[in-house]
Amino acid sequence: MSEPIVSTPSAALTFDPLKVRDDFPILAQKVHGKDLVYLDSAASTQKPQQVISAIAQAYGKEYANVHRGAYYLSEIATTNYESAREKVRAFINARSLSEIVFTKGATEAINLVAATYGRESLKPGDEVVLTQLEHHSNIVPWQLLRDVSGCVLKIVPVACDGSVSIESFAKVIGPKTKIVSIAHVSNVLGTTLPVNEVVQLAHQFGAKVLVDGCQGIVHREVDVRALDCDFYTFSGHKLYGPTGIGVLWARSELLEAMPPYQGGGDMIETVTFDKSVWAEPPAKFEAGTPPIVEAIGLGVALDYLNGLDRAAVKVHETELLTYAMTRLEDVPGLKLIGTASGKVSVQSFVMEGVHPHDLATVLDRFGVSVRAGHHCAQPLMEAFNITATTRASFALYNIKEDVDELIIALSRARELLL
């Protein structure tokens, strides 16, 4: 039998970003003849060798479909897939395995909740509360729900520094609120939302709270029991894992009451032409062949993170952010978008007289990868009266030298573009 799929980072428990970089083979390469400076981890993080090797092992030595075959390979694949579920459960401190539903990403997880829990429980006039900083994935599913249920979307505004105060939530959440669906952390501004207070407030009115944890779980430890929310969603590819895998965590009683999202194999107990009987959660929500290797890869990414001193990682990322903000503020004509206290290492900015896309294109010629555009948050752009930003996002493998390269490239870009 092959070695079990586990992961030990090279920088185990004494966090050293320079050592960690050795785990990410992609960072060693050059782009346009320059050393790669990857500052787009909020879009997707790079993968450690441990995850890459685990994926190769899962396909190369241990691959078969899961939950179906009574033979050696299928049993191993099933064990690995289900142990990935246990790793996710432990990572977010969920009560039970049945609360962990694998999806193809956060987008699918939010759509699942809107299309099942939302359709089942909302009546015309009921309110769904969002904030102005939400990603389109946490806006459009609720608009689809509004179109079929007649519910009303209420929007909590964002302040100039990118914060969203609990007082602003208190003005919007009320007796008609049935669902509050908010980002844990903004993908554009890096703002951390006051999730605990929002949950307390929403629960006073009997509303359920969904937390879009796509960015939050990358930079903050998540304990769904301590958060006390009702749904928590995230994507594996932002958490050093593969694409094509995401997680919906929900309280057992909610998953039990919710209708299935899709029909197909694996989500039923029995099928006749008259009637089908659903399997228990989480199988009820995992119709068809699941993303087997992707789930296994995510599990190994979580092993990888567990092998690091995450408190030290947080300190490192915060130091990087502080350094980047200070240096960026000194670049002539550059304005930071999103400066709320307690934010994570994601920094948007605009440069006077330069389109963010042009800026990102020139930065790329200097080896610096950043994202530019509306970042799937057009209502937020509107709130700031801009159409786009350039965004640098920092992960555990970034170092101060990356910030220095960004600043040098920005100065060169200014000379070229103005």
Residues with a known catalytic role: 376
**Contact status, residue 272 vs residue 243, Cβ threshold 8 Å:** no
In 3D space, the residue among 90, 88, 111, 91 whose CA is nearest the CA of residue 101 turns out to be 88
Give least dist CB 241 to ligand C6P, A.
11
Instruction: With residue 316 as reference, give the H or E element that holds it.
Output: helix 310-329
- Please calculate the CA angle 156-158-159 and round it to the nearest 5 degrees: 135
Residue 234 CB, nearest distance to ligand C6P (Å)?
A: 8
CB of 110 vs ligand C6P, minimal distance in Å: 7
Nearer to ligand C6P, 11 or 110 (CB): 110
Name the residue nearer to ligand C6P (CB basis): 76 or 350.
350
Q: Which residues of 263-302 are buried (b: 16+ CB within 10 A; e: fewer)?
A: eeebbbeeeeeeeeebbebbbbbbbeebbbbbbbbbbbbb
209 CA to centre of own chain: 17
Closer Cβ to ligand C6P, 106 or 122, answer by number: 106
Q: How far is the CB of 183 from ligand C6P (least distance, A)?
A: 5
Residues 6+ apart with CB under 8 A from 16: none
Q: Distance between CA 125 and CA 176 in Å, rounded?
A: 8
The residue among 11 and 112 lying less far from ligand C6P, judged by its C-beta, is 112
Rounded to whole angstroms, how far apart are CA atoms 374 and 114? 24
Cα angle, residue 413 at apex, residues 407 and 417 outer, rounded to 5°: 150
- Least distance from C-beta 261 to ligand C6P, angstroms? 15
Task: State the nearest-atom distance from the C-beta of 2 to ligand C6P, in Å.
Answer: 30
Q: How many other β-carbons are positioned within 10 Å of the β-carbon of residue 168?
A: 17
CB 122, CB 128: distance < 8 Å:
yes
Least separation in angstroms between residue 107's CB and ligand C6P is 3
Separation in Å, CA 30 to CA 34, 63, 191: 5, 34, 32
- Would you say 338 and 348 are in contact if contact means Cβ atoms under 8 Å apart? yes
Smallest gap from Cβ 61 to ligand C6P, in A, equals 28
Q: By the 8 A CB rule, do 352 and 333 touch?
A: yes
Nearer to ligand C6P, 208 or 219 (CB): 219
105 vs 260, which CB is nearer to ligand C6P?
105
**DSSP designation for 70:** -
Residue with Cβ nearer ligand C6P (57 or 215): 215
Whether 148 contacts 124, CB under 8 Å:
no
How far apart are the C-alpha atoms of 199 and 114, rounded to whole Å?
18
* Per-residue exposure over 333-364, b if at least 16 CB sit within 10 Å of its own CB, e if not: ebebbbbbeebbbbbbbbbeebebeebbebbb
Site of interaction with ligand C6P (CB under 6 A): 42-43, 105-107, 135, 137-138, 183, 187, 212, 214-215, 235, 371, 375-376
Q: How far apart are CA 218 and CA 84, in angstroms?
A: 18
